[in-house]
Amino acid sequence: MSSPTRPGGPGKAVSPPPAGLERRIGPLQATAINMTQMCGIGPFVTIPLVVSALGGPQAMFGWIIGAIIALADGLIWAELGAAMPGAGGTYIYLREAFQYRTGRMMPFLFVWSAVLFIPLIMSSGIIGLVQYLGYLFPAVVEGSGVSPLGKIVGIAIVLVIVLALFRKIGQIGKLTTVLFVVMLFAALAVIVAAFSHFDAGQAFAFTPGAFSFPSGAFWAGLASGLLTAVYDYLGYNTAAYLGGEVRAPGRTLPRAIVFSILGIMTLYFLLQVGVLGSIPLEELKSATSVASTVLEQAWGSGVAKTLTVLIVVAAIGSVFAGLLGGSRVPYEAARDKVFLRAFGKLHPRLNMPTLGVVTMGFLTAVFSLFSLSEVINAALACLILLQSLAQVAAIVVLRRRQPGLKRPYRQWLYPVPTIVAAIGWVYIFVFSNDSFSKYLAIGWVVFGLLIFLVWAKAEKTWPFGPKEIRETFVEDGVTENEGTQA
């Protein structure tokens, strides 16, 4: 096997080259970006899916287990993000961790998959918000799905979001904070409305035998329910994708991740229990605009329509935040010459990765033409393989390979959260019922591996040339973490 090369000599490192990105995102904006992406339209459209999967009101415990997995995974993101704050998030962590064994293969495969699963996740937000628009304009929905007119509306909304992203990061941070306030107000309004006519007997009428192990309804549907619940928690990592634009990332990123997960967990649990106690179970399982129904029961159609508009705005904010972070992934890879070079160019005036924003937006529009369950299942299958499980390995490898890496935050109770996250992700991937999405994810990775080998042969890099070891964030002098110790 070819021997690795270390630019700068043993013990030295290569500092991150100037990217042109501006560190303008503070703690409030980082938390707002995460929570806006996390909430969005997700729980307002997926509560019926979780209830159906888990067979009744016991679905509330699915949200709690999902939150535990999300928090365990979030603590992985917190350590990696604080130690290696740069544009692209996971791309950087996999690049640093796996370079010793497989060269650039793992970061390439991540970008290859991210270009698929990030727009898939964003398209679910578009589909959900169009369903809620159906409460205001029935012509955009058809049965339990989106009508042809609704799909056109969804594509138009994606275009508006992409255009809104063409601005400087400081302006985007302020805009995201406003969208976060709208999201929080809408979610709290639905919770208050639900508990204003709450039936505790109905909310806690667990299905007889639901918890009987292993054949009870709860256990039988747990993997599928968790897949949807965890999907709703996704977004706590969005600020980490923007690590190169975050002020004092060693402090800001861990706090933003933990606070956003705990805050959204509380909102989701209250929302789930409130909805269970205000809408009959059979009606809930088939509902497409749960929040609007709850609001109309409590305060009438006028208030319900007004607040539905806010829910749609919150959904738009979620997609906005997701595309903002996702566009930085191919940008960082292109700078490393691991992806198409055109993605590594910044807008000359706005300092934003133009092609990344446009590409992610285009794919989001395309995927919005599919059904909600299809895009959620496909997105989670791809994400688990090449992000979640890969980062579990990355944190372990980096602890061993780069003990000198500055870690402003070290994972609490390590390695317990890492083990919990690994078990949770493997369980969801293996036992969820959608086999097609799993095969799609595996096939996409295999296809990406073939593309990588062709590229590696042309570039004469591993496995057809020497590995290039660049411990970018390990340095004797100043790093991007300097001055960020908590």
Tell me: the pLDDT tens digits for 333-359?
Answer: 888 888 888 888 888 787 788 899 999
176 located within any domain: yes
The verdict on residue 391 lying in a domain is yes
CA distances to 179, 362, 437 from 384, in Å: 28, 23, 11
pLDDT at 173: 66
Higher pLDDT, 462 or 39: 462
Total domain count, the chain? 1
Of 162 and 87, the structure prediction assigns the larger pLDDT to 162
Q: Does the structure show a pLDDT above 60 at 282?
A: yes
Beta bridge partners of 142: 145
> What average pLDDT does this structure show over 103-121?
93
Q: Which of 461, 392, 403, 404 is nearest to 99 (CA)?
A: 461
105-136 helix and 435-459 helix, angle to the nearest 10 degrees = 140
pLDDT in tens, 148-197: 999 999 999 999 999 988 876 666 667 777 877 888 898 899 999 999 99
Q: Is residue 481 part of a domain?
A: no
Domain-embedded: residue 20:
no
pLDDT at 433 over 80: no
Q: Is residue 18 part of a domain?
A: no
> What's the predicted TM-score (pTM) here?
0.86
The answer to whether position 39 is within a domain reads yes
Query: What is the spatial distance between Cα 74 and Cα 258, in angstroms, rounded to a whole number?
Result: 7
Collect all residues with Cβ–Cβ distance below 8 Å to 275 and sequence separation of at least 6: 47, 190, 194, 284, 290, 294
Residue 141, phi then psi, degrees to nearest 5: -120, 160
The candidate with the shortest Cα–Cα distance to 485, out of 181, 273, 250, 136, is 250
Tell whether 48 is covered by a domain. Answer: yes
Task: Label residue 202 exposed, middle or buried (CB < 10 Å: 0-12, 13-18, 19+).
Answer: middle
Pick from 65-69, 70-74, 258-262, 324-328: least confident: 324-328
Nearest to 134 by CA among 286, 303, 284, 292: 292
For residue 483, is pLDDT > 80? Answer: no
16 lies in a domain?
no
pLDDT digits (tens, 9 = 90+) for 301-317: 999 999 999 888 888 88
- Domain range enclosing 91: 27-441
The whole-angstrom separation of Cα 186 and Cα 309 is 9
Give the pLDDT of residue 484: 35
- For residue 23, the model assigns a pLDDT of 82
Show Cβ contacts of residue 163 under 8 Å, excluding neighbours closer than 6 positions.
none
Positive or negative CA dihedral for 378, 115, 132, 175?
positive
Give me the pLDDT at residue 45, please.
84
**pLDDT interval class at 4 (50, 70, 90):** very low
Cα 23 to Cα 21: distance, rounded to the nearest angstrom: 7
Residue 445 in tokens: 């990775």
pLDDT tens-digit profile of 29-65? 899 888 877 877 778 888 888 999 998 999 999 999 9
Here the CATH number for the domain that contains residue 403 is 1.20.1740.10
| Average pLDDT taken over every residue of the chain | 87
For tokens 């990061």, what's the residue? 169
